[in-house]
C-alpha cells in the first residue's frame, strides 16, 4: 500500500495554555534586566522590566478610553517601538488589534476600518510619500471639528478615539502623551482584574490578507494561535534571553508580529529595530553594533544586504540563526547567507496569515540542500496533508496536490465573512491553503505553485 501525504509534527514541545499578557508577565519576572526592545532609529532601549511597565501603562490608558474586551484597536504605522507596545497592551486588556498595512492608500484604509469596525485608531505621521494623517482626514473630515474621543463619523460609525503617535496636537486626536497620561485614571488592580477575565481562546488580532482574489479578508487570530506559533518558532531557533533578534520585516505582517516579536518575547530575547522600513545598511549596522545573534528577512532583503557596497565593512560574526521566508530561496543566496553572514543555523518557514502563520519549518540541523529545496516538516502539534483538489482525497507521497493544515494554528474565521471562512476551513477543521505542494517519504514539504494556476487537460491536473 502506498503511503499517503499526511504527517503530524511531534508534540514534545508543550503548547502554552495562557494569554499573551500572562506570558509577558512571566518573562519580565524571569528576565527583568535583560534587554527587551532596542529601537535604534528612535534611540530607545528598554529592559523587560521597563517594557512591561510601559505596556501596562498603555493598557491602562486604553482602558481609560473605554476600550472594552473585544473592541477593535487599529494601528497604522511602520516599525516603531509604539507598535510593539500597542501589540502587547491590547492583548493585556482583551482588545483586538487590527494591523493596517502602511502601504495602504485611502480607499484600502477605509475598507479595513469599516470592515473591522474599529473603535480606536493609532496613527503615525508622514513617512516618505505617505501622509497618514492627511489620508485619515480625507476619509473622516468630521474629525476636524471633533474633540478627541468624540469622533462621530458616518463612514466609520464605530470610531471614537484617534491617537497620533507623536506630539503634534491634530484636530480630533489625542497625542501619545495625552493618551499615556490617562493611565492614572485606571488602577493597576483594574488592569489585573481585566487580565484575569480573559481566555487564551479570545480573539486578539485581525490581519488583512493581500486580497489577490478580491477585497482583503480580515483573518481573526487568538492568543492561543499566535502565542504558540511564536513560541514554537523561537524553540526551533533555540532562542534564549541571551539572543538578540534584528527585525527588518514589517510588523503589520505575521512575519514581523509573530515570527519576530512573539518568538522573541516568549524567550526573553531582545528585539532590535534597525529602521522604520527596510534599509539594508541600517540592518548591517544594527547587527554589528547590537551584536545580534539572529536576523529575519525575505530572500530579496538578504540579497540587498549581501550586495550592499559597504557589506564587507560590517562585522556580522555574532549572527547564528534567523528566518528566511516569503518566497523560495535561491541556492546561491542561502550559501552566501551561511558563509558570508555566519548564519549557519538559518531556517526556512512556510505558512500563511490564516495559520498564524507557520505550519512547516526546516531545522537548524537540516543540510543546506533541504533548506533550499523544501520548506521543512510540519510544526509541532500541526497536521499537514496534501490532497487532490477535486476528489479531496490524500494523494500518495511524491504527488502534487493542495496543502492543507490543521491544529492550534488555524485561524478562528475571517471577520464578518462566514462564506469565505467556510470556503477555507472545511467541516473537519482543515485550512485549505490554496498552495500546491509535494510531501516526500521523510515528511519534508516542497511548494510547487498556486492552486489557481493549475490547468485541467483531458481530466488530468497540469501544474505549470
> Is 464's pLDDT higher than 70?
no
Residues 398-413 as b or e (16 or more Cβ within 10 Å = b): eebbbbbbbbbbbbbb
- DSSP codes joined into one string, 221-236: EEHHHHHHHHHHHHHH
* pLDDT attached to residue 455: 53
How many Å apart are CA 159 and CA 462, to the nearest integer?
Answer: 48
User: What is the grid cell recorded at 41?
Assistant: 532609529
How many Å apart are CA 437 and CA 457, to the nearest integer?
Answer: 19
> Is 3's pLDDT higher than 60?
yes
* pLDDT attached to residue 214: 73
Q: For residue 458, what are the CA distances in angstroms to 390, 391, 392, 461, 462?
A: 14, 16, 19, 8, 10
- In CATH, what number does 6-16+205-462 get? 3.40.50.12780
* 214 contact partners, CB below 8 Å, separation of at least 6: none
* pLDDT attached to residue 215: 83
Position 11 confidence tier, pLDDT thresholds 50, 70, 90: confident
Position 235 confidence tier, pLDDT thresholds 50, 70, 90: very high
E strand segments, 101-241: 118-123, 161-164, 174-175, 203-208, 218-222
Position 454 confidence tier, pLDDT thresholds 50, 70, 90: low
* pLDDT attached to residue 413: 98
What digits encode the pLDDT tens for the residues 361-392?
A: 999 999 988 999 999 999 999 999 999 999 99
Of 307 and 453, the one with more pLDDT: 307
What digits encode the pLDDT tens for the residues 404-441?
A: 999 999 999 999 999 999 999 999 999 999 999 999 99
* pLDDT attached to residue 329: 86
For residue 124, which of 185, 69, 191, 79 has the smallest C-alpha distance? Answer: 79
What digits encode the pLDDT tens for the residues 337-356?
A: 999 999 999 999 999 999 99
> Is 94's pLDDT higher than 60?
yes
Q: Which DSSP state fits 260?
A: I
Average pLDDT, the chain: 96
Position 213 confidence tier, pLDDT thresholds 50, 70, 90: low
What digits encode the pLDDT tens for the residues 239-280?
A: 999 999 999 999 999 999 999 999 999 999 999 999 999 999
* pLDDT attached to residue 2: 66
To which H or E segment does residue 196 belong?
helix 188-196
> Is 461's pLDDT higher than 90?
no
Position 207 confidence tier, pLDDT thresholds 50, 70, 90: very high
Fold entry, domain 20-31+45-199: Rossmann fold (3.40.50)
* pLDDT attached to residue 460: 55
> Is 113's pLDDT higher than 80?
yes
Q: How many CB atoms lie within 10 A of CB 18?
A: 17
CB 244 within 8 A of CB 269: yes
How many Å apart are CA 101 and CA 226, to the nearest integer?
Answer: 19
Q: Where are the domains of the chain?
A: 6-16+205-462, 20-31+45-199
Indicate the pTM of the whole model. Answer: 0.96
* pLDDT attached to residue 12: 87
What digits encode the pLDDT tens for the residues 21-79?
A: 999 999 999 999 999 999 999 999 999 999 999 999 999 999 999 999 999 999 999 99
Q: Which DSSP state fits 4?
A: B
What digits encode the pLDDT tens for the residues 168-197?
A: 999 999 999 999 999 999 999 999 999 999
Mean pLDDT, residues 451-456 taken together: 67
What digits encode the pLDDT tens for the residues 317-331?
A: 999 999 999 888 888
Position 459 confidence tier, pLDDT thresholds 50, 70, 90: low
How many Å apart are CA 352 and CA 259, to the nearest integer?
Answer: 12
**The two domains 6-16+205-462 and 20-31+45-199 share their CATH topology (first three levels equal):** yes
User: What is the grid cell recorded at 325?
Assistant: 521566508
Asked whether the bond before 340 is cis by omega within 30 degrees of 0, the reply is no
382-385 long-range contacts, CB within 8 A, separation 24+: 382/8, 382/9, 382/406, 382/407, 382/408, 382/409, 383/6, 383/7, 383/8, 383/9, 383/407, 384/6, 384/7, 384/8, 384/359, 384/360, 384/439, 384/445, 385/4, 385/5, 385/6, 385/7, 385/430
Amino acid at each position: 500500500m502506498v503511503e499517503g501525504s499526511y504527517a503530524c509534527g511531534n508534540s514534545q514541545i508543550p503548547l502554552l495554555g495562557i494569554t499573551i499578557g500572562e506570558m509577558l508577565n512571566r518573562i519580565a519576572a524571569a528576565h527583568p534586566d535583560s534587554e527587551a526592545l532596542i529601537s535604534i532609529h528612535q534611540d530607545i532601549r528598554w529592559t523587560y522590566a521597563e517594557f512591561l511597565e510601559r505596556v501596562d501603562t498603555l493598557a491602562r490608558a486604553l482602558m481609560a478610553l473605554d476600550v472594552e474586551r473585544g473592541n477593535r484597536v487599529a494601528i497604522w504605522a511602520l516599525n516603531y517601538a509604539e507598535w510593539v507596545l500597542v501589540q502587547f497592551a491590547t492583548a493585556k486588556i482583551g482588545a483586538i488589534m487590527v494591523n493596517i498595512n502602511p502601504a495602504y492608500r485611502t480607499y484600502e484604509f477605509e475598507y479595513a476600518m469599516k470592515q473591522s469596525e474599529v473603535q480606536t485608531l493609532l496613527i503615525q505621521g508622514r513617512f516618505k510619500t505617505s501622509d497618514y494623517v492627511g489620508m485619515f482626514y480625507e476619509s473622516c473630515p468630521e474629525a476636524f471639528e471633533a474633540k478627541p474621543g468624540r469622533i462621530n463619523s458616518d463612514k466609520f460609525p464605530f470610531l471614537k478615539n484617534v491617537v497620533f503617535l507623536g506630539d503634534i496636537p491634530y484636530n480630533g486626536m489625542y497625542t501619545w502623551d495625552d493618551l499615556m497620561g490617562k493611565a492614572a485614571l485606571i488602577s493597576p488592580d483594574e488592569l489585573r482584574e481585566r487580565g484575569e477575565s480573559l481566555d487564551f481562546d479570545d480573539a486578539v488580532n485581525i490581519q488583512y490578507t493581500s486580497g489577490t482574489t478580491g477585497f482583503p479578508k480580515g483573518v481573526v487570530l487568538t492568543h492561543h494561535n499566535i502565542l504558540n506559533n511564536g513560541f514554537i518558532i523561537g524553540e526551533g531557533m533555540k532562542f534564549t534571553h541571551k539572543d538578540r533578534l534584528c527585525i527588518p520585516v514589517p510588523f503589520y505582517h505575521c512575519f514581523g508580529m509573530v515570527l519576530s516579536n512573539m518568538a522573541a518575547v516568549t524567550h526573553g530575547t531582545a528585539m532590535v529595530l534597525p529602521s522604520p522600513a527596510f534599509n539594508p545598511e541600517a540592518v548591517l549596522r544594527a547587527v554589528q553594533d547590537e551584536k545580534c545573534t539572529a536576523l529575519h528577512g525575505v530572500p530579496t532583503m538578504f540579497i540587498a544586504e549581501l550586495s550592499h557596497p559597504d557589506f564587507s565593512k560590517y562585522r556580522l560574526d555574532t549572527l547564528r540563526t534567523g528566518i528566511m521566508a516569503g518566497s523560495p530561496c535561491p541556492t546561491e543566496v542561502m550559501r552566501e547567507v551561511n558563509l558570508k553572514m555566519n548564519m549557519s543555523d538559518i531556517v526556512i518557514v512556510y505558512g500563511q496569515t490564516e495559520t498564524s502563520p507557520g505550519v512547516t519549518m526546516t531545522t537548524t540541523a537540516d543540510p543546506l540542500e533541504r533548506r533550499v529545496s523544501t520548506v521543512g516538516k510540519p510544526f509541532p502539534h500541526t497536521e499537514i496533508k496534501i490532497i487532490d483538489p477535486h476528489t479531496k482525497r490524500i494523494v500518495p507521497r511524491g504527488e502534487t496536490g493542495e496543502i492543507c493544515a490543521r491544529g492550534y494554528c488555524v485561524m478562528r474565521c475571517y471577520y464578518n465573512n462566514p462564506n469565505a471562512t467556510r470556503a477555507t476551513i472545511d467541516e473537519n477543521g482543515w485550512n485549505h491553503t490554496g498552495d500546491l505542494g509535494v510531501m516526500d517519504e521523510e515528511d519534508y514539504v516542497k511548494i510547487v505553485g498556486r492552486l489557481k494556476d493549475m490547468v485541467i487537460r483531458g481530466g488530468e491536473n497540469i501544474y505549470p
